[in-house]
Chains A and B, each alone.
Chain A
Amino acid sequence: MYQLLKQIAKTGIVTEPAPQPDAALRAIEQRLGEAILKHFGRSLAIRHVDAGSCNGCELEIHALNSPYTNPEKLGIKFVASPRHADMLLVTGPVSRNMEVALKRTWEATPDPKLVVAIGDCGCTGGIFGESYASCGRVSNVIPVDVVVPGCPPTPTAIMQGILTAISTGQRR
C-alpha cells in the first residue's frame, strides 16, 4: 500500500488544459437551446457506439480517458447505456450488419441528444467506403451534429469535437 500511495504522490496531477471548441467541425447548425447546453456543459453523459471501425478510433477514445485529457474534470463521462446518454460518439463506417443496432441505439437515447461522428470513416466512409457490406459515413444512417476527422483523431481532437457539440458557436 505504501508503494501504491508513493507512486500516486510521485505522479501528481498530469491533466493538461482542454482544447477550445471549433465551429468548423459542425456538420449542421446547433439545434439545442442555450439552457440545455448550459446543463450539458456541466454534466455530459456519452455513449460510445462502434458501428464498424478498424478499432483504431477506439484506441483514441480509451486514450481520451487517460489522466492527460481527463474528461471527468469537465463533467464529461462515458455511460453504459444509451438510455443514460446525452451524446452518441460513433466510430467507423457503419457496417450493414450494425445498421439496425446503430438506429436502435439512437432511438433509445432520450431527446435532446447530440451525435458526434469520429474518424475519417465516420465522417466520409474512409478507406472502406460504401459497399455491399458498408453504409459508409455515419450521417448516412443517423443525423450527425459534429464530425471529427482523423485516422484516428487524437484524444485532443475528439475532446474538441465533444466540446464543439455542446457549444453555441454556429457553423462557419
Chain B
Amino acid sequence: MTSKLLTIAHYTLLEAARNKLLRLALFILAIGLAITLFLKQVAITETREFQLTFLAILYRLAAVFVLAAFVIVSQVREANDKVMELMLSRDLPRSSYLFGKLLGYLGVALVLAFIFALPQAFFADLPRASLWGLSLFLELAIVAALSLFCVLTLNQVVSSLGAVLGCYALSRSMAALQLIGASQASEGGGVLSRIADYALSGIAFFLPRLDLFTHTGWLLRRDTYVPDVPWLIVQCVVYTVLLSLAALFDLRRRNF
C-alpha cells in the first residue's frame, strides 16, 4: 500500500513539474524582488522593513493561491479525464489514492515554502527566515488539505477555489472578528450581539487558528512575539488529518 501511495505522490509531483509550477513560482519571486528594488528607491526610511513586509505578504498570498489553484485544477482535470475512475478501477484503495495525492501536494507545498522563504533570508536573519518558511509550509499543508477536501466535495473549479479562499480569509481574520464580537456584546450590544458572539465562537471551533501562522512581524523585529512552533505543528497535523479524513469520508461514499 505504501508503494502505491508513494507512486501517486510521485506522479503528483511530476504533474506539478510539467505544469511549470516551478517556473511560475520563480516568476513570482522575480516580480517580488523587482518591486522590492523599486520600493527601495521610493521609501524614505525603514527601507528594509518596507521590502520585507511587501515580500512576506506577496509571497504568502501567492503561495496560498498558486497551491490552492493547482490542487483544484489538477483534481478537476483528473475527474474530467476519468483518470481518477481509471485508477480506482485498479487494485488501488481509495485511501491510498487520497493520501498519495495529499502527500504529493504536501511535497509541492514544501517546494513553494522553500522558494518563497529563500529571499527572506537575505533581508532578515536566517533563523527568523527559517521559522517563517516552516510556518508557511504548515499553513500551505492546511491549504492543500482544504483544497483537496473542497474539490472532492464540490467538483468545480470556481466554487472550490471560492470556498478555499473564503475559508482561508475567515480563518485568518476569525480572531479579530471574535474580539470585535466580544467587545460589542460586553458593551451592552443586546441579545443579537450576544447571539452573534456565540455564533462566531462556535464557527471558530471548526477553523484552524491561521491568524497565529506566518507573521511578517517575525521577520522584522527581534522583540516581537515568537510563535510556539510545536503548537503550530500540532494544529497543522490535527487539521490536515481532520480534512483528509473528511475528504476520504466523501470519497468513500461516492459511486463512480
Q: Do A and B come from one complex?
A: no
